Structure 1
Amino acid sequence: MPYRIDLFAVFIFLGIVQGIFLSFFFLSKENRQIQANLFHGMLLLAMVGCTLEIFLMYTGYIVHCLFLVDFSEPLGMAVGPLFYLLLLSYVKGGVSKKQYGHLVFPVVYFFLELPFLLQPDDVKYNAYIWAYHPELPMRDVTAVYDARLFWVTDHATETILISLALYAILSVIVVTRAYRQKKESFWKPVHPVLRNLREPIVQMITASVIVLVVKLTNVADTGDHLFAVYVSIVIYFTSFRVIRRSGFFKHASLAEAPKYKSSTLSPDVQNALVEKLKLLMAEQKPFLQADFSLPELAHQLGSTVHVVSQVINERLGKNFFEMAAEYRVEEAKRLLREQPNIKVEEIAEQVGYNSKSSFNTVFKKYTGTTPSRFRAEKS
């Protein structure tokens, strides 16, 4: 059987290589601490796995690694859930452990497919020929048992399409609610996170339509290379976005202060982290704890100490201690007004200060008066 190397094959192969390197970037030790990056990297690997099998099938090189025939079906099942979790992490700032349950079915599917994956090479060869070269003869092989015992594995294409459609609908619902909450237009969003949400939604819907059209207009899997080309385009586009937002082209000169000049943190990521920070401080008020610290704040935000420190410095124009002090003073002012019978010492403890003198010093610095005088003036 001759190998097929054409423009489609080259384009898909380069997309696979690019996707592998890009996934390593998202899954690096520092970047994967942000859940959105973790899910993005996993999604890229799932897409690369599916595209790799299509490439091997399309070119004919699969005959040298027949054990890889249909190995990517569980990865195809994971694309929809990973995409949905990616969007949730953008909208809600993270997902709970319970929501990882969306990844259970791809794992279950893997075990359901094991009867086929454990079949000898002749069975795998026949499956490849049936899908890509139905005009060629198959090998004689006697099946010991039914390799496709379950409906979902015997109808993998339909199952993947159902999964993609279901999670595309769920994703559209999540994004629509986010746009309505912010009262912004889908086509002209202002918030940077909403702009980040728009492109994946369009890509997901387009991918679902392409898969459906390809499957309806081609015999078996003979048109899968068209879908692989689209996946490669998505990978190239994602790479372009990453490079465009990179700090590589923002090197500091000798005349500039070096702090943060080599940072690769994009403005969109900074804005998203600021929004997440403000929401955390307003709802959970971690600054009320006496041991509130920058590492603890970074952990709660799912980021790193360096990134959070940079965002506070550049976006809020202050350092961590100044920010914490301002939040504590504002909370103390509220308590002094609303709870006139509580001693100042107790209020100091409630807002995270173990020392009354330290509290008085900080309070006077930001208000120009002492806590006792502030209470007297507001009473």
Structure 2
Amino acid sequence: MTESSQFLFFFSALGAFNGLLLSIYFALSAKKKVFSNYFLSLLLLVLSIRIIKSVFFYFNPHLSNIFIQIGLSACVLIGPFLFLYLKTYAEDEKPNWTKHVLPYLAIITTLGFFYPYVEHRAIWSTWIIKAISVQWFVYIILSFKSLQPVIRKIKDKESLRKIDVWVLSIFLGVTLIWLAYTTSAYTSYIAGALSFTFILYVNLLLLIFRNSNGITFFQEKEKYKNKEIDQKTLDLIGQRLAIIIEKELFLNPNFTLEEAAKELKVTKHVLSQYLNEILGISFSNLISTYRVGKAKKLLETEKNYTIESLGYDSGFSSKSTFFTAFKKVTGLTPAEYQKSYSK
């Protein structure tokens, strides 16, 4: 093995090994009632198994076929665990993980038993691996829906919480690894392992930052430094802010900071500064509060609508964002609130 090959082996294998260690770390953290960490732990575990297979196969083409089969089979759970982790982040409740894990586990186990890789390499290469890649990509698309609150904050140039940056980096990391493996025929088979190692260390830095009190992302207040809003503008915004409620502009699920600023006849920057410094709330949280207020009224008066449809009628773009926002504001789920009101 040449010196450059030794470096490649060390760098890629180190990432896989550290992935396993992180998997154990998050599994232990889950015992502290952080349920989503179970899914993060399992995501890192199946990714590490897949990477370890790639590393050793790249440097040892005569690797045992059963080991190759295990490595490839692990890929079938990468997408589901990514989806489940991001869903718990978005909805803050335990999802039904069995329907996203057990069927795929049963299918890949059955295929491995009746069509083992050692005897059916052509079937695996032609059909099974491609099917797994498509399934992985489908779950990437499904997972993206859980990131809509973060995407809206980025579009409105609002402050991101550390957890927002963290889950966004996890999503992008898994997507890039999928892309590296999908395009490996045109680049290099080891590209997936190298991308995993690189992304892992970037996320490790984010983990350190996330646990540091001195680090924040997208700090909005720096932009406002030494730029005070004059009293006339303050009074003007205070008077006109009610327009958003009166016209129920928040019912538009795509209502943006820029549209609100136009309606209030101020600049987007000034409105953002007013909300953050004077009211102490971000634009997305303010609109979310208005929507929850509307939802509460509908829950109190409407009996012939499903709770999910009431969420859409209140301006929420998805069931998950509705449930998360409602519980954050009221401390209850929509169903619990409706039940308590009807007593």
Same fold by TM-score greater than 0.5: yes
Q: CA deviation at 1:208?
A: 2.9
Q: What does 1:334-353 align with in structure 2 at a 5 Å threshold?
A: none
- In the alignment, which residue of structure 2 is the partner of 1:75? 74
137, 147, 161: which one aligns with 1:175:
147
Are 1:235 and 2:196 matched, yes or no?
no
TM-score by length of 1: 0.51
Q: What does 1:134-173 align with in structure 2 at a 5 Å threshold?
A: 147=120, 154-173=126-145
Between 1:49-58 and 1:190-199, the stretch displaced more is 190-199
Q: Percent identity?
A: 15
Taking structure 1 as reference, are residues 2 and 233 closer, same or farther at Cα in structure 2, changes over 3 Å only? closer
Q: CA deviation at 1:72?
A: 1.4
Report which of the two has the higher share of helix: 2
- In the alignment, which residue of structure 2 is the partner of 1:38? 38
Code of the aligned partner of 2:174: M
- In the alignment, which residue of structure 2 is the partner of 1:87? 86
Distance 1:44 1:93 in 2: 20
Give secondary structure in 1 for the equivalent of 2:94: coil
Q: Deviations over 1:304-330 (max 9, x none)?
A: xxxxxxxxxxxxxxxxxxxxxxxxxxx
Q: CA deviation at 1:112?
A: 0.9
Q: CA deviation at 1:11?
A: 0.4
Runs of at least 5 residues in structure 2 that lack an aligned partner in the other structure? 215-323
Distance 1:61 1:153 in 2: 15
Q: CA deviation at 1:61?
A: 7.9
- In the alignment, which residue of structure 2 is the partner of 1:49? 49
Q: Deviations over 1:295-349 (max 9, x none)?
A: xxxxxxxxxxxxxxxxxxxxxxxxxxxxxxxxxxxx9xxx9xxx9xxxxxxxxxx
Taking structure 1 as reference, are residues 276 and 40 closer, same or farther at Cα in structure 2, changes over 3 Å only? farther
Give secondary structure in 2 for the equivalent of 1:89: helix
97, 100, 125: which one aligns with 2:98:
100
Give secondary structure in 2 for the equivalent of 1:96: coil
Q: CA deviation at 1:89?
A: 0.8
Q: What does 1:205-224 align with in structure 2 at a 5 Å threshold?
A: 205-215=175-185, 217=186, 223-224=188-189
Q: Deviations over 1:216-247 (max 9, x none)?
A: x16xxxx3211110011122222222233346
Taking structure 1 as reference, are residues 186 and 68 closer, same or farther at Cα in structure 2, changes over 3 Å only? farther
Give secondary structure in 1 for the equivalent of 2:154: coil
Distance 1:30 1:185 in 2: 29
Q: Deviations over 1:42-77 (max 9, x none)?
A: 0000010001111111221864x5531221122111
Taking structure 1 as reference, are residues 57 and 160 closer, same or farther at Cα in structure 2, changes over 3 Å only? same
Taking structure 1 as reference, are residues 276 and 162 closer, same or farther at Cα in structure 2, changes over 3 Å only? same
Q: CA deviation at 1:30?
A: 4.5
Give secondary structure in 1 for the equivalent of 2:208: helix
Q: Which has the larger radius of gyration?
A: 1
Taking structure 1 as reference, are residues 113 and 66 closer, same or farther at Cα in structure 2, changes over 3 Å only? closer
For these two proteins, the number of residue pairs brought into alignment is 233
- In the alignment, which residue of structure 2 is the partner of 1:12? 12
Give secondary structure in 1 for the equivalent of 2:28: coil
Give secondary structure in 2 for the equivalent of 1:165: helix
Taking structure 1 as reference, are residues 239 and 158 closer, same or farther at Cα in structure 2, changes over 3 Å only? same
Are 1:24 and 2:24 matched, yes or no?
yes
Are 1:283 and 2:333 matched, yes or no?
yes
Runs of at least 5 residues in structure 1 that lack an aligned partner in the other structure? 124-145, 250-273, 288-330, 340-349, 351-379
Q: CA deviation at 1:33?
A: 3.2
Code of the aligned partner of 1:17: F
Taking structure 1 as reference, are residues 32 and 69 closer, same or farther at Cα in structure 2, changes over 3 Å only? farther
Distance 2:62 2:213 in 1: 39
User: Is the 8 Å Cα contact of residues 166 and 203 (structure 2) preserved in structure 1?
Assistant: no
Code of the aligned partner of 1:241: L
Q: CA deviation at 1:153?
A: 7.2
Distance 2:120 2:2 in 1: 28
Distance 1:196 1:248 in 2: 15
Taking structure 1 as reference, are residues 10 and 76 closer, same or farther at Cα in structure 2, changes over 3 Å only? same
Q: CA deviation at 1:209?
A: 2.5
Are 1:226 and 2:191 matched, yes or no?
yes
Q: CA deviation at 1:276?
A: 9.2
Distance 2:113 2:4 in 1: 30
Distance 1:113 1:4 in 2: 35
- In the alignment, which residue of structure 2 is the partner of 1:260? none
Q: CA deviation at 1:164?
A: 2.2
User: Is the 8 Å Cα contact of residues 12 and 193 (structure 2) preserved in structure 1?
Assistant: yes
Give secondary structure in 2 for the equivalent of 1:28: helix
209, 225, 236: which one aligns with 1:244:
209
Between 1:192-201 and 1:230-239, the stretch displaced more is 192-201
Code of the aligned partner of 2:138: L
Give secondary structure in 2 for the equivalent of 1:26: helix
Give secondary structure in 1 for the equivalent of 2:93: coil
Distance 1:112 1:24 in 2: 29
Distance 2:15 2:23 in 1: 12
